[in-house]
Amino acid sequence: MSTPPSPPPSEDEQQVAPKRPHKKRRNMKVWAATAQTFDPYNPLDLDNLGRSVEAELLRRPAEPLDQMPHTFGAGVYAIYYIGPHELYAPINSEDCAIPIYVGQARPKGTRKGSEDLSKKSTALWDRIEEHKDSIKAARDLDVGDFRVRYLVAIEAFVSLAERVMIRQYHPLWNSVVDGFGNHDPGANRRRDSRRPPWDELHPGRWWSHPLNMPKPSKTPSELSRNRIQAFFAGELSEEVIQLIESGETGEVE
């Protein structure tokens, strides 16, 4: 016995294809003032390149400054203080989170393009050794209270990383007290040059002794102490810090 055919579906039962929902046109004038705006990320931006080098440096262990092994290469480095000097108590940390000084080291002649590419450079090790000797000479500092992170890097990126870190951390001996990284100016210039502020604050380097460099700094030690305390208290404006960094004035309060 055959099954009778099914009756055709009623109009209510007939399926209707869905239609595109009505969408209001976006009126940019309404929401533009509150919309988020981003600068497109550019990994090749100079600051971003510097930050990538900085990130690699900060992954390195902080080693005792006076125990750095001989090292070939140029690079960037950060020095940290972990000692008892009350002036630097706010950055005294075994974690070495905030550097007291950031620097770079490149072979002699790099800026003029006259470096000897056939020789292995020890620029990074030499520079850090100079800093070690400066701290050893200071009468109120102990080199055992300092740590260093260092990174051998392609010279083209060394300056970028140094600039980024100084701008981010304003390390005291880069930004507030100038002169830690100074070299002996030589016998002919010593008599006419002023002692660096760092040497007034931490005397001891032979070439900056008053008998060798008789002209005092425009920034006496008491002013440097006041600036350091004001820096930690958040009382130094960005403008003042930049003036001190540029060396435009020795009298900025």
Query: Which of 175, 197, 214 lies at the terminal end of a domain, its last residue?
Result: 175
Domain tally, the chain: 2
| Dist. CA 116–CA 25, nearest whole Å | 66
236 and 159 housed in the same domain: no
Domain finish residue from 133, 151, 175 = 175
Q: Are residues 101 and 196 in the same domain?
A: no
Q: Is residue 168 part of a domain?
A: yes
Residue 27 lies in a domain: no
171 and 182 share a domain? no
CB atoms within 10 A of CB 84: 10
* Confidence (pLDDT) at 155: 83
What pLDDT was estimated at residue 250?
Answer: 45
Please check whether residue 89 lies inside any domain of the structure: yes
**One domain for residues 167 and 221:** no
Same domain, yes or no: 139 and 215: no
Instruction: Determine, yes or no, domain membership for 169.
Output: yes
| Beta strands in the chain, from DSSP E residues, in sequence order | 63-64, 75-81, 101-105, 146-152
With tokens 């940019």, the residue in question is 28
Residue 1 in domain: no
- Same domain membership, residue 242 and residue 141: no
Look at residue 10 and tell me if it is in a domain. Answer: no
54, 126: one domain: yes
One domain for residues 151 and 232: no
Q: Pick from 155, 175, 195: which residue ends a domain? A: 175
Q: Is residue 142 part of a domain?
A: yes
Q: For the chain (length 253 residues), average pLDDT per consecutive 10? A: 65 72 72 80 73 92 97 96 97 95 85 57 96 98 98 89 92 96 93 95 97 95 96 92 73 43
Give the 3-state secondary structure of 145-197: HEEEEEEECCHHHHHHHHHHHHHHHCCHHHHCCCCCCCCCCCHHHHCCCECCH
**Do 138 and 185 sit in the same domain of this protein?**
no
85 and 143 assigned to the same domain: yes
Whole-structure pTM value: 0.80
11 is a domain residue: no
- Determine the distance from the C-alpha atom of residue 218 to the mean position of all C-alpha atoms in its chain, rounded to a whole number: 26
Q: Are residues 167 and 198 in the same domain?
A: no
Same domain, 50 and 156: yes
Q: Which domain holds residue 230?
A: 176-253
